Amino acid sequence: MTQSTTELAKIGLIGLGTMGAMLALNIAEKGFRIAVFNRTTATTEAFKADSGELSKRIVAALSLEALVASIARPRAIILMVPAGPIVDQQIDALRPFLDEGDMIIDAGNANFHDTERRAKEAGVTTIGIGVSGGAEGARHGPSIMGGGPRAAWDRVAPILRAIAATYDGTPCATWMGEGGAGHFVKTVHNGIEYADMQLIAEAYGIMRDGLAMGSGQIATVFEGWNTGPLQSYLTEISAKVAGTTDPETGAPMLDVILDRAGQKGTGRWTAVEAQHLGAPIPVIEAAVAARNISASLDERRAGQSVFGAAPQPLAQGTLSISDLESALIAGKILCYAQGFALLSKASDAFEWSLAMPAIAEVWRAGCIIRSAMLNDMARALTEDPARNLMQAPFFADLMRQHAPGLRKVAAVAMTQGLPVPALTAALGYFDMMRTARSTANMIQAQRDFFGEHGFERLDRDGGGFHGPWAS
């Protein structure tokens, strides 16, 4: 049967895993007819059957050819498949059915280098969009970071803005720049996410192992913090998970979860790109390293048996909950400052012209790192996008107020064997970034001594000077 134009879908989607299914339902709920395909046809059929009232806007395609035929021209098809070779395989399988003007939208957690390569090799218009918010965000409103040709983004922007989260009525869906810009911004978002989660976990560890607080007490602390400067999605859910009881054992949920953190690679990609660009992001790098160390479960257990347990209880009155809150506030500011500094470096290196205030604004709702601070960050970046965030007047005042707490917590934790790699990295960064005369002169002297690399002098212009080491 030949379909009329009115019966054709506005957009297509391939991949009905958790994120893909939720995004498809979101699109349908916003009034757009959508064609869906999954390589397992039973999944496609079950998805439509279980979609309730929304099923009338869902076309269940049982082949790629049928999917393409179900979409109005020029076609736009979202890929929600795992990052890596599977994306390339899906593009290769889809390409024979596409016409000039059709578009592929990669909405997975792709490495931006792959996105840029595919834009050149795919033989069809491709854009990459970062989608953040987990399954809940995908279903009810994610944060969307677009990259690729501006004209291509503009074509699908009405749909993407309609399904995105909103902040004061403004959709959290924005074009970031050409090529892989959208996926790079999403990568840095995830790097900040790694850091924020690690900072929270370290505060949890101090409360659990240093202050002998139970999960219920810790939940109450997080609940209180979520009403102040630390208000954020991650603080909110930390309170919820700390306050949850395991239905099987009756024990606190946190007491039955194995302490081995998973990762999908985006945090690592952030750290790798930062090294390539020479952008210091020590808090994010510490968070990535902490996840790697968490995976070394047997080695950690062996280390405790050889040397004894590192964490030791704190004497009463050594640290307060207020001290911990200050440490987290300062650490949070510093990890976001590092993330935006990395974005600025990448923008220059890849000629993306990333709009820093727009990035902060698109993260204000829908995404995992949404936070009360982001509105203030957007204002600060509007005033001066090139300035380190911690130096903006609003955040400089917060750092003056809370940096002493960060220093106290880091110092006390280290003396008592409480692991706080992200907090100490934040403190180290803060101190180094306010040291006008560093110790790198010693490094330059060493490099010149053994490799004749040369150095610059304080008392004259130019470079290529050498010390009298050989005399």
Q: Is 186 in the active site?
A: yes
Take residue 52 and report the two structure tokens written for it: 């309730």
Give SS3 for 105: strand
Q: Which of 10, 116, 186, 325 is catalytic?
A: 186
φ, ψ at 49 (rounded to 5°)? -65, -30
Q: Residue 195 contacts by C-beta under 8 Å, 6 or more apart in sequence?
A: 283, 284, 286, 287, 335, 338, 339, 422
Specify which residues 174 forms β-bridges with: 145
Q: Which of 232, 265, 257, 444 is nearest to 331 (CA)?
A: 232
Q: Which of 116, 178, 193, 361 is catalytic?
A: 193
Q: Which of 114, 106, 51 is nearest to 76 (CA)?
A: 106
Q: Is 240 in the active site?
A: no
Strand order in the sheet with 76-79: 58-60, 34-37, 11-14, 76-79, 103-106, 125-132, 143-147, 173-177
Residue 74: is the preceding peptide bond cis (ω within 30°)?
yes
Q: Which residue has the tokens 């995830």?
A: 190
φ, ψ at 403 (rounded to 5°)? -60, -40
Give SS3 for 329: helix
Kindly tell me the burial class for residue 403, based on how many C-beta atoms sit within 10 Å of its own C-beta (0-12, 13-18, 19 or more): buried
Residue 3 DSSP symbol: P
Active site residues: 186, 193
